[in-house]
Amino acid sequence: MAGLIPQSFIDELLNRVDIVEVIDRRVTLKKAGKNYQACCPFHQEKTPSFSVQPERQFFYCFGCGAGGNAVGFVMKFHNLGFPEAVEALARDAGMEVPRQETPADARRGAEQRALFECLEQASKYYQGQLRRHPQRGRAVDWCKSRGISGVTAREFQLGYAPPGWENLLKELGADEKAQGKLLKAGLIIARDAEKKADSGRSPFYDRFRDRVLFPIRDSRGRTVGFGGRVLDDGMPKYLNSPETPVFQKGRELYGLYEARKSKAGKLMLVEGYMDVIALAQAGIRNAVATLGTSTSAWQIQRMFRHAPEIVFCFDGDEAGRRAAWRALETSLPLMGDGKSARFLFLPEGEDPDSMVQKEGKEKFLERVENAQPLETFFFEHLSEDLDAASIEGRAALSSRAMPLIRKLKESVYRQLMIERLAEITGVNKETLLKPAPAARKRDSDGDSEPPPWLRDAPDLEPPPHMTESRDFGADTPRRTSSKAGGSRPDNKLIAIKHLIGLPEIALENKDELTPLAETGDPAERLLAEMIEKVRRNPDIDRYALMEYSYSIVDVRNQLTDVLEAEKIEPADKEKLKSEFLQILEELLARSSKKLRGRQLRDQLRARTAAKAHTED
């Protein structure tokens, strides 16, 4: 019936939100064993009787009997009706509430439930193989060699994918429907048509073979994917599940489900599965890990919702420090009063796994307590190649630091960062806060050097949208800007916006995207990566794409302006698709030209160098 909120959407909303986060934003919760407690917001009491159970995603007050899920809490807390509570919760989750269930909505809800069930069955199968398979000895020996006890293996639900190409397939893929679920969940891979015809075997084979498996669980404890570690010198050393309708790497943190049970008051971000497990084995149970990707804004925000302090733990080599700096930049817009971030750099060549085994728990925790505060790493990194005693060095530090400090929210923390910069440079706060002169103001936040992608370009003609009025047809959806001036945003940002709104348009183009990804322009690289994501996972939704786009710090602010200012009046999918494809065609043509120019210059330099060497 029109106007009703589809049940599939409500299910998806409750899958996305975490009741602990929902309630903690409104009532201060305290950890109490597996659950959380507070004084009930619905009646007067002095002793906490209000309990939140994260595993069941349920709250209950033993004093007044109030109870329910996240929607029920929002209804009661804000005195809202059911539809209004769903809308409020959806806004917090960045979701749009549909008012009529479509067949696609119903299919998506059913598909997600089926995938969760399939992944849970696979996890139980792999756990059983670690205990019972005739060849489990190698996996057990590997676990013992890494100091993993049986208790820890059970807590993290470690498993074993035995050798062979069709073990899981035979266990769970009894028919085409079951095989389809396994394929969608990323647990099996389709064989090439030629190999299938030649061998006469099944059209599929297991993704994970002869590996120790680490189930990746969401904050509710549901298995969403796996990481597999090879037992010999084979490659790749670690193999992760591909992205699926229930698993996006940038949205998950390995070990968060277990770490949230700790009472440490902080979370430690490490780089690998074994770091999390080794620390837990040593009694340090508040570590989480990214899944082979750079730390995303979503992941940092998620950690801050569970603890007010994050300790980023990295190798002390150059690569580790680069990764730490990227994490710092991503953290800045999320910092504020009551939040703390620190950086722990381990000796070169060491990781938390090796360090805690060498030094033990207490020594490692000493390192954690002595980790650098964000502000210390921030100013040391920016000034490491500057002479802070010279006027030029202090001026350069100011020009580097202020654009980054401006990314902080208005808060006491932001003011203290400005005061610290003023103290280091000897420049008063008022001068630091003055906007850059209009003639020098740039989208790159004041960097006086042109970005490498522009400096290296073979030609410097402005993009077409800046030199001529684009006409995409009289019926193209009209755009109006809410900002003064109303100028049309950069075409690549328009393309990203269209792609977020209508992901399937990426499938209309089959061109090679390497030139676009290698121009050095962050927005063009992001567009190429998003298109590839849709190509790999055609069922990816707009929310996953938006979260991914916002994890790219260099593009986030510009994209926010476009999403806020650009109004698309009623969208005609065909016309938006046409505009997207035309923009993409122009971007690919221009990026290919730049790439060819760069290659020609490189060849010319190589010939010149070779000639000079010959003459010498």
Position 215 pLDDT exceeds 50: yes
Q: Cβ of 578: how many Cβ atoms within 10 Å?
A: 17
Residues in the chain: 616
pTM, two decimals, is 0.61
DSSP state of 207: S
Which tens digit of pLDDT belongs to each residue from 268-320?
A: 999 999 999 999 999 999 999 998 888 988 899 889 878 889 999 998 888 88
The structure tokens listed for 60 are: 């209950």
Residue carrying structure tokens 């010959």: 614
Amino acid at 162: P
DSSP single-letter state for residue 33: T
Within 13 Å, how many C-alpha atoms sit on residue 227's CB side?
Answer: 19
Per-residue pLDDT at 464 exceeds 50: no
pLDDT single digits (tens) 544-597: 676 667 556 566 656 665 654 444 433 567 778 888 888 888 888 888 887 777
The token pair that represents 296 in the structure block: 């995303």
Given a cut of 90, is residue 365 above it in pLDDT? yes
pLDDT value for 479: 38
- Residue 420: is its pLDDT beyond 90? yes
Query: Is residue 141 scored above 90 in pLDDT?
Result: yes
* CA gap 165, 43 in Å, rounded: 59
The pLDDT value given to residue 570: 37
Residue 410 CA to residue 87 CA, distance in Å, equals: 28
DSSP secondary structure string, 398-451?
HHHHHHHHTTS-SSHHHHHHHHHHHHHH---HHHHHSPPPGGG--TTTT-SSPP
Highest mean pLDDT among 19-33, 112-126, 436-450, 591-605: 112-126
Structure tokens at 320: 């580790």
Residue type, 17: V
In the chain, where does the domain assigned CATH 1.20.50 lie?
Answer: 385-434
pLDDT for the residue numbered 606: 63
* Count of CA atoms in the C-beta half-sphere (13 A) of 292: 15
Are 457 and 601 in contact by the 8 Å Cβ rule? The answer is: no
pLDDT in tens, 96-125: 888 666 677 677 778 889 999 999 999 999
Residues of the chain with CATH 1.10.860: 478-599
Range 564-568 contact pairs with CB under 8 angstroms and sequence separation of 24 or more: 564/482, 565/481, 565/482, 565/483, 565/489, 566/479, 566/481, 566/489, 566/494, 566/497, 567/479, 567/480, 567/481, 567/482, 568/477, 568/479, 568/501
Architecture of domain 478-599: Orthogonal Bundle (1.10)
pLDDT at position 217, please? 95
Checking if the pLDDT of 447 tops 80, the result is no
Does the 7-93 domain belong in CATH 1.20.810.10? no
Q: What are phi and psi of 199, to 5 degrees?
A: -85, -25
**Stretch 200-228: mean pLDDT, rounded?**
92
Of residues 508 and 556, more confidently modeled: 508
Report the CATH architecture of 251-380: 3-Layer(aba) Sandwich (3.40)
Confidence of residue 442 (pLDDT cuts 50, 70, 90): very low
Domain with CATH 3.90.980.10 in the chain: 103-192+204-247
Strand partners of residue 38: 50
Higher-confidence position of 128 and 94: 128
Per-residue model confidence as pLDDT tens digits over 168-191: 999 999 899 999 999 999 999 998
Mean pLDDT of the chain: 82
- Helix axes of 412-425 and 391-405: crossing angle, nearest 10 degrees: 170
CATH of 103-192+204-247, one of 3.90.980.10, 2.40.160.10, 3.30.830.10, 1.10.3720.10: 3.90.980.10
Which helix (H) or strand (E) covers residue 542, if one does?
Answer: helix 542-550
> Averaged over 328-342, what is the pLDDT?
90
In this structure, which amino acid lies at residue 173? G
CA distances from 536 to 54, 506, 529 (A): 33, 11, 11
The answer to which of 207-211, 261-265, 376-380, 445-449 has the lowest mean pLDDT is 445-449
| pLDDT for res 82 | 82
Classify the phi-psi angles of 68: left when phi > 0, otherwise alpha if psi is within -120 to 50, otherwise beta. Answer: left
CATH topology of domain 385-434: Pheromone ER-1 (1.20.50)
Which of 185, 250, 260 has its CA nearest to residue 18? 260
Cβ burial of 269 (10 Å; 0-12, 13-18, 19+) is buried
More confident residue, 197 or 428: 428
pLDDT at 506 over 80: yes
pLDDT of residue 484: 38
> Which distant-in-sequence residues (6+ apart) come within 8 Å of 47 by Cβ?
39
Q: For 400-421, what is the mean pLDDT?
A: 92
Mean pLDDT on 369-398: 93
pLDDT per position as a tens digit, 546-555: 666 755 656 6
